[in-house]
Amino acid sequence: MIKYFTCIISGIWNLAKGLFVTLKNVFVKPVTLQYPTQKLEMTQRYRGLVDLYPEKCIKCGQCVKICPTACLDLSVKAGEGADKKKEFGHFKYNMELCCFCGLCEQVCPTQAIYMNKIYEIAVYEHGKLHIDLLDKDKYDEWANPDVK
């Protein structure tokens, strides 16, 4: 008989403890976001996709040399003008191979190449992971996903 009442009291006590925890958290600010309608602002040191300011690039090729996975492909040709200033042939980035180490960003003498803040990088097509760094609209689809 005593055991029966002890079980009832213990049950009530445990229920009260659980309700107290719930009540306490009702007034606490949530730590979660309603993803994907709400999104996190990435930190300053976050390494997203490799991106480029073409106008800052001096075509030195240091980023290509240091890349441990050979995912950058830069081709340069002599310019048409009198100064023969170097011009881009192409500048490609194979995201499939990238390990997001950030070495290209670190070595660049003009801060032309950098890691952006994009983190929603899932794609359905294999070919979308082969990026033309000279295309200014290259990441539009990822940067502004159409969230329903």
Q: Would you tell me which residues interact with ligand SF4 (CB under 6 A)? A: 50, 57-63, 67-69, 71-72, 74, 98-104, 107-110, 112-113
Cβ–Cβ under 8 Å, residues 62 and 113: no
Question: Exposed, middle or buried, 38 (CB in 10 Å: 0-12/13-18/19+)?
Answer: exposed
Cβ–Cβ under 8 Å, residues 75 and 89: yes
b/e burial code for range 71-100 (CB count within 10 A of at least 16 → b) = bbebeeeeeeeeeeeeeeeebebbeeebee
From the CB of 37, what's the least distance to ligand SF4, in Å? 30
Of 36 and 68, the one with the shorter C-beta distance to ligand SF4 is 68
From the CB of 39, what's the least distance to ligand SF4, in Å? 23
From the CB of 57, what's the least distance to ligand SF4, in Å? 3
Q: Report the distance separating Cα 7 and Cα 16, nearest Å.
A: 14
Of 38 and 72, the one with the shorter C-beta distance to ligand SF4 is 72
From the CB of 109, what's the least distance to ligand SF4, in Å? 6
Of 10 and 75, the one with the shorter C-beta distance to ligand SF4 is 75
Of 55 and 146, the one with the shorter C-beta distance to ligand SF4 is 55
